[in-house]
Amino acid sequence: ISTAEDLRTPLTIKIGEFASLTGKEATFGTSSHEGTVLAVEEINAAGGVLGKKIELLTEDNQTKAGETANAVNKLISKDGVVAIIGEVASSRSMEAAPICQDNKIPMITPASTNPTVTQEGDHIFRVCFTDTFQGAALANFAKDTLKANKVAVLTDVKSDYSKGLAKSFKEKYASVGGTLGIELDFNGGDKDFKGQLTAIKGDNPDAIFLPGYYNDVALICIQAKQLGITAPIFGGDGWESEALLSIGKEDMNGNYFSTHCSVEQGTPEMIAFVDAYKKKYDGKTPDAMAVLGYDAAKVMADAITRAGSTESAKIRDAIAATKDFNGASGKFSLNENRDAVKALVFIKIEDGKFKYTATVNP
Ligand code: PHE
């Protein structure tokens, strides 16, 4: 029997999620969503938050520009969510951030690394590092590990992530004495990169920096091999997807990327997460987006618990106060810019597999 009080007080805590579940970057949204769902199930099984179950309301932006705004407006105005989780790609998180900020709805992006995402305002947070850190780590890697004195750069001008990461890489690489070779552009979704690759081959760089997403990266690496390019190609977290290996196959070997964590890192939190994820998703191995989707939901639940309330200002303050959080991705704190301060890992692609090679601490 429901009383008048029950009818006035929501029985669940509604959290919104937007993700690219279909379309060009479907593996991003699928993975982060799976991680988020697993976290919410665990939280609810342990009694929920403030005595209530979390209800996750998910919207698919289909990887399309413009769709995120619709999704987020619906979650806020129609569904009445108290906070939002999303998404992986920076350009789409940047579409959501001003809407969440204007409506004073706290938003946590699991994996968007472009510095400007959280600069949108005091309601926007991330549980990943930024590309200022990642770009610098990649520049040091090029100089110290690859021993590359000249690097060519190939940027996806349709992606804020790619442009931002190229910029921070170039600044740091120049400051450590590296020489920038030829710099060329492409548009995410292009299929033929032979023109740019031929020009790069002619420039004869020691290595090629490719801050792109997995589907474009795989095609570029295949075409580079066809043109006889032997210089290693390296990039950032946007490379991470099993689809990179299934599309690029042996043409991916000998290349490198940086990312958020490795499922091989033996922390108790990662081991427990990988176990639970495999159990829930038919033995599937999680990727970084799944780990970060999980951590984003856990940080959100932890903050609402500490806030003792679902009032927006209190949730906001509690997320901002997140310190020494033992996430599955690693231990992290949020700094004054609402960005997570945490380590990054390097992966080498060998024998058609991702191999963890090194960790860089902040
Ligand atoms: N960091 C990327 C972006 O900001 C997204 C990404 C995160 C991709 C993690 C893969 C893995 O767009």
CA of 70 to the centre of ligand 1 (A): 22
Q: What is the pLDDT of residue 3?
A: 56
Query: Which atom of ligand 1 lies nearest, measured to the CA of 239?
Result: 10
Q: How far apart are CA 69 and CA 89, in angstroms?
A: 14
CA of 120 to the centre of ligand 1 (A): 18
Query: Which atom of ligand 1 lies nearest, measured to the CA of 113?
Result: 4
Q: What is the pLDDT of residue 289?
A: 97
Three-state DSSP class for residue 126: strand
- Cβ < 6 A, ligand 1 pocket: 28, 88-90, 111-114, 161, 237-238, 240, 288-289
Instruction: Render 13-49 in DSSP notation, one character per residue.
Output: EEEEEEE--SSTTHHHHHHHHHHHHHHHHHHHHTT-B
Residues linked to residue 59 through DSSP beta bridges, in sequence order:
18
Over residues 155-177, mean pLDDT = 98
Q: How many helices (H) and strands (E) does the chain have?
A: 13, 15
What pTM was computed for the model?
0.96
Query: pLDDT tens across 300-313, in order?
Result: 999 999 999 999 99
CA of 309 to the centre of ligand 1 (A): 31
Query: pLDDT tens across 81-136, in order?
Result: 999 999 999 999 999 999 999 999 999 999 999 999 999 999 999 999 999 999 99
Query: Which atom of ligand 1 lies nearest, measured to the CA of 159?
Result: 12
Query: pLDDT tens across 2-48, in order?
Result: 555 555 677 999 999 999 999 999 999 999 999 999 999 999 999 99
Of 264, 260, 256, nearest in space to 348 by CA: 256
* Percentage above 90 pLDDT, the chain: 96
Using CA positions, which residue lies closest to atom 8 of ligand 1? 238
CA 70 to chain centre: 21
Q: Ligand 1 pocket check: which of 112, 124, 287 to mutate, most ligand atoms within 8 Å of Cβ?
A: 112
* CA angle (186 as vertex; 180, 192 as ends), nearest 5: 120
Q: Which residue has the tokens 């829930």?
A: 280
In contact, 159 and 236? CB cutoff 8 Å: no
Query: Which atom of ligand 1 lies nearest, measured to the CA of 89?
Result: 12
Q: How far apart are CA 271 and CA 253, in angstroms?
A: 27
Q: Ligand 1 pocket check: which of 24, 34, 113 to mutate, most ligand atoms within 8 Å of Cβ?
A: 113
Using CA positions, which residue lies closest to atom 4 of ligand 1? 112
- Kindly indicate the confidence band of residue 139, based on its pLDDT and cuts at 50, 70 and 90: very high
Query: Which atom of ligand 1 lies nearest, measured to the CA of 161?
Result: 12
CA of 51 to the centre of ligand 1 (A): 34
Q: How far apart are CA 88 and CA 91, in angstroms?
A: 9
Q: How far apart are CA 192 and CA 332, in angstroms?
A: 40
Whether the per-residue pLDDT at 223 is higher than 90: the answer is: yes
CA of 259 to the centre of ligand 1 (A): 9
Q: Ligand 1 pocket check: which of 237, 258, 295, 342 to mutate, most ligand atoms within 8 Å of Cβ?
A: 237
Q: What is the pLDDT of residue 8?
A: 60
- Kindly indicate the confidence band of residue 265, based on its pLDDT and cuts at 50, 70 and 90: confident
In contact, 54 and 36? CB cutoff 8 Å: no
Mean pLDDT of the chain: 96
Q: How far apart are CA 351 and CA 331, in angstroms?
A: 31
Q: How far is CA 154 from CA 143, 207, 221, in A?
A: 18, 11, 12
Q: How far apart are CA 160 and CA 168, in angstroms?
A: 12
Per-residue tokens: 69: 């705004």
CA of 131 to the centre of ligand 1 (A): 10
Three-state DSSP class for residue 333: strand
Query: pLDDT tens across 337-355, in order?
Result: 999 999 999 999 999 999 9
Per-residue tokens: 45: 């099984």
Three-state DSSP class for residue 108: strand
CA of 108 to the centre of ligand 1 (A): 14
Exposure string for 328-342, b = 16+ CB within 10 A, e = fewer: bbbebebeeebbbeb
- Kindly indicate the confidence band of residue 264, based on its pLDDT and cuts at 50, 70 and 90: confident
* Percentage above 70 pLDDT, the chain: 98
